[in-house]
Amino acid sequence: MTNVSIALRERLEARVPFSTLELVHEATSVDGTVKALFHTAGGHPVEAVLMLFRDGRRSVCLSSQSGCPLTCTFCATGQMQFRRNLGEWEILDQALHFRRRGPISHVVFMGMGEPMLNFDAVVAAARRLPDLGVTNRRTTVSTVGWLPGLRRFVDEVEEPIRLALSLHAPTDALRSQIMPVNDRFPLDDVLAECLRYHELRRRRVFVEYVMLQGVNDSLDHARSLAELLDPTIFKVNMIPYNPTGMFEGSSRETMAAFKDFLHDAGFSPTLRLTRGRDIAAACGQLAATA
């Protein structure tokens, strides 16, 4: 806009910042995925990712916190220092950064942080996304099953925003081993909330299941998973493990056998496409290392 004087423009720039976040670094993957590293005004790192899919979907993955206080053993974000919850606009500005360059069709709250630990800001941001062209139905909030926030999500959010649960193990014993948060909020309680969500919203709950070689990927695990979940309520999304140190990813054959087992048990499992691994932008790799 140039019909405003330079002096006024300078004053506006100083007083009304364009964004709550400053872009520090951006990387583009061979598959077209773009990862942006921002800093908050106080210098806390925040990452967001734009993924382009062949079917035309343009999906943005948003962070809800700088770092994460949880310590899931397979996730790089848990290994960096936890800074703080992001505000509503610090979440929206990540999406706006990508929206300025082109339309976005989907948003997933699957970046850094645990959205249900920052319930108010996450829900407020999600409710504004339709203004950016992303409907509630195309918005997904992913959680480890942090019950206080999850309960509020079920009780208070009437919009058809989708829920995803990072399950990763079919028993409490194994889940506690790889996700210490499970000691605090056991599986039965978390799944009961998911059932309530399904009853109230009539939408299926996505279940994320990262495939860790020799840890949670046997046919016995698949059997336990099939016994634990009702396929009419839960949609299983298997995630190939993105290397972060501790584990090895399951082989293609193991993943195929696991998937076939679930399929035969009445599920329609999907295997998540890995995007942006070469720029450390894939699931579990966000750790603000540029």
Work out which of 142, 182, 216, 250 binds ligand SAH, going by CB under 6 A: 142
Nearest residue to the partner ligand SAH, using Cβ: 284
Q: Is 47 a catalytic residue?
A: yes
Three-state SS annotation for the chain? CCCCCHHHHHHHHHHCCCCCCEEEEEEECCCCCEEEEEECCCCCEEEEEEEECCCCCEEEECCCEECCCCCCCCCCHHHCCCCEECCHHHHHHHHHHHHCCCCCCEEEECCCCCHHHHHHHHHHHHHHHHHHCCCHHHEEEEECCCHHHHHHHHHHCCCCCEEEEECCCCCHHHHHHHCHHHHCCCHHHHHHHHHHHHHHHCCCEEEEEEEECCCCCCHHHHHHHHHHCCCCCEEEEEEECCCCCCCCECCHHHHHHHHHHHHHCCCCCEECCCCCHHHCCCCCCCCCCC
**Interface with ligand SAH, residue 65, by CB under 6 A:** no
Q: Which stretch binds ligand SAH (CB under 6 A): 8-16, 71-79, 152-160, 215-223?
A: 71-79
Point out the catalytic residue in the list 47, 90, 114, 193. 47
Out of 36, 48, 110, 134, the only residue in the binding site for ligand SAH (CB under 6 A) is 110
Q: Does 242 sit near ligand SAH (CB under 6 A)?
A: yes
Interface pick for ligand SAH out of 114, 121, 134, 267 (rule CB under 6 A): 114
Our finding on whether 182 is near ligand SAH (CB under 6 A) is: no
Residue 267 is a binding residue for ligand SAH (CB under 6 A): no
72-91 positions binding ligand SAH, by CB under 6 A: 72, 74-75
Q: Output 20 or 242, the one with its CB closest to ligand SAH.
A: 242
Q: Quick check: 166 binds ligand SAH (CB under 6 A)? A: yes
Would you count residue 258 as binding ligand SAH (CB under 6 A)? no
CA proximity to 124, closest of 151, 152, 99? 152
Position among 244, 262, 275, 280 found at the interface with ligand SAH (CB under 6 A): 244
CB of 142 to ligand SAH, least distance (A): 4
Q: Would you call 68 a catalytic residue per the annotation? A: no
Catalytic residue (choose from 68, 75, 194, 283):
283
Whole-angstrom Cα distance, residue 221 to residue 281? 28
Among 35, 208, 235, 236, binds ligand SAH (CB under 6 A): 208
Which spans of this chain sit near ligand SAH (rule: CB under 6 A)? Answer: 72, 74-75, 110, 114, 142-144, 166, 208, 210, 239, 241-242, 244, 283-284
Query: Which residues are known catalytic residues?
Result: 47, 283
